[in-house]
Amino acid sequence: MNVLVACEFSGIVREAFRERGHYVMSCDLLPTEIPGNHYMGDVRNILNGEWDLMIAHPPCTDLSVSGAKHWRQRDEEAALDFVAELLEAPIEKIALENPVGIISTFIRKPDQIVHPYYFGDPIKKRTCLWLKNLPLLEPTNMLDNYLHHAIHRGLASKESKGRFRSRFFPGFARAMAEQWG
């Protein structure tokens, strides 16, 4: 399959699909942290490519409940327009992930809510999935012991905290590649 991983600088999801033999490209405004097939720029410039599947991680700053303290500085309308554009992209299969937030109120409820610990990553973080022509993800390695994602806030420097919290989880990415790829 030709897979586009939108709004991903880490390369974690891209590499999970590449390891399963797919042609995959990540895309973000930032350079990739893991060398590989990466388009640095606005994903809207490449949405009309020959993609079979898109995994999208739109920035949650203006969308999530955790960003509520910044609501006065938020641009919710632009963020929601971007999400709608991703969900309506001319791609047969789409998965959009984001924390609990305003997408559920203004666009539609998620198809599924999961946590990284369902897939072997020792973190509890409610993650919503909006799906198009994809099955619900099945847990692959449910952990009994996990940390609340908020605990990790203190581990990153203030300058890199946003990047730190935006990195996807390897077990979660492998489950996506195994079940959707």
DSSP characters over 75-142: -HHHHHHHHHHHHTSS-SEEEEEEESBTHHHHT---SEEE-GGGBT-SEE--EEEEEES-PPPPPSB-
* pLDDT mean over 136-158: 71
CA distances from 7 to 69, 122, 144 (A): 23, 23, 30
Instruction: Calculate what percentage of the chain has a pLDDT beyond 90.
Output: 72
Domain of 113: which CATH number? 3.40.50.150
pLDDT in tens, 49-58: 999 999 999 9
The mean-pLDDT minimum among 27-31, 62-66, 81-85, 171-175 falls in 62-66
* Residue 8, Cβ density class (10 Å: 0-12 exposed, 13-18 middle, ≥19 buried): buried
What tokens were used for 114? 């999961």
- Work out the pLDDT band at 146, boundaries 50, 70, 90: confident
Whether the per-residue pLDDT at 155 is higher than 90: the answer is no
d(CA 176, CA 180): 5
Secondary element (H or E) of residue 172: helix 170-180
Which pLDDT does position 159 carry in this prediction?
A: 44
Beta bridge mates, 97: 129
The mean pLDDT of 133-155, rounded to a whole number, is: 78
Mean pLDDT of 95-110: 94
pLDDT tier at 165, thresholds 50, 70, 90: low
Provide the CB-side half-sphere exposure for 126 (13 A, CA). 9
- Could you tell me if 17 and 37 are in contact, meaning their C-beta atoms sit under 8 angstroms apart? no
Question: Which pLDDT belongs to residue 60?
Answer: 82
Instruction: Write the pLDDT tens digit of every residue in 61-84.
Output: 778 776 555 555 567 889 999 999
Give the C-alpha separation, 167 to 80, whole Å: 21
Q: Average model confidence (pLDDT) for the chain?
A: 88
Containing structural domain, residue 10 = 2-180
87 against 59, higher pLDDT? 87
Count of domains forming the chain: 1
- In this model, does residue 153 exceed pLDDT 60? no
pLDDT exceeds cutoff 70 at 169: yes
Q: Is the model's pLDDT at 167 over the cut of 80?
A: no
Rounded Cα distance, 151 and 167, in Å: 15
Mapped onto helix, strand or coil, the DSSP state of residue 168 is coil
Distance in angstroms (rounded) separating the CA atoms of residues 103 and 67: 13
